[in-house]
Amino acid sequence: MPPPADRTAHFGTVTATAADIDALGHVNNAVYLRWVQDIATGHWQAVARPADIARYIWVVTRHEIDYLGPTLAGETVTLATWVGTPRGARFDRLVEITGADGRLRVRALTIWALIDQASGRAVRVPPEVAAPFLQ
C-alpha cells in the first residue's frame, strides 16, 4: 500500500547479514523490528527541523507487524516509511519492507508518542512539527 497522495515516503536500504539470520535461515523478526525503528528514526532526522530534533524525542507505544515473506542473508531490501495523521501526542507511522524481487516482506504500523525532552512528558504534536511530514 503506497502512501496517500498528501504524504511523501522516506526510503532506505539494508542488506541482511549473517548476524540477522535466525534458526530458520531467514531474517529474525526482532531484526525486522529494528529496521522498522531505524527507518522511522532516519525519517525524523532527515525531515524534522533541527530545533525540533533538539527539543523532542519520539517513543514507541505500539508495533503491529505483518511478516509476509522471508529475507535471506545477503539480500538487500528497501524500506519505505510515511506517517499517518497526528492524534494528540501520537503519530501513526507505516513501514513497508520490500525485496529486490518486488515482493513485500514486512508491513508495519507503529504508533509513536512525542516527548518534550525538557519535561519528559508527552505533548500534543504541534502543527509545525507535523508539517514537514505531511507533504
78 backbone dihedrals φ, ψ, rounded to 5°: -105, 135
2 backbone dihedrals φ, ψ, rounded to 5°: -70, 165
Average pLDDT over residues 105-123: 97
Q: pLDDT of 69-80, one tens digit each?
A: 999 999 999 999
Better-scored residue on pLDDT, 25 or 3: 25
**Does pLDDT of 5 surpass 90?**
no
Distance separating alpha carbons of residues 10 and 22, to the nearest angstrom: 28
Q: pLDDT of 93-112, one tens digit each?
A: 999 999 999 999 999 999 99
**Does pLDDT of 86 surpass 70?**
yes
Buried b / exposed e over 19-41, threshold 16 CB at 10 Å, is ebbeeeebbbeebbbebbbebbe
Pick one of 3.40.50.10420, 3.40.50.300, 3.40.605.10, 3.10.129.10 as the CATH number of 10-133.
3.10.129.10
Residue 127 is inside which H or E element, if any?
helix 127-130
Domain ranges for the chain = 10-133
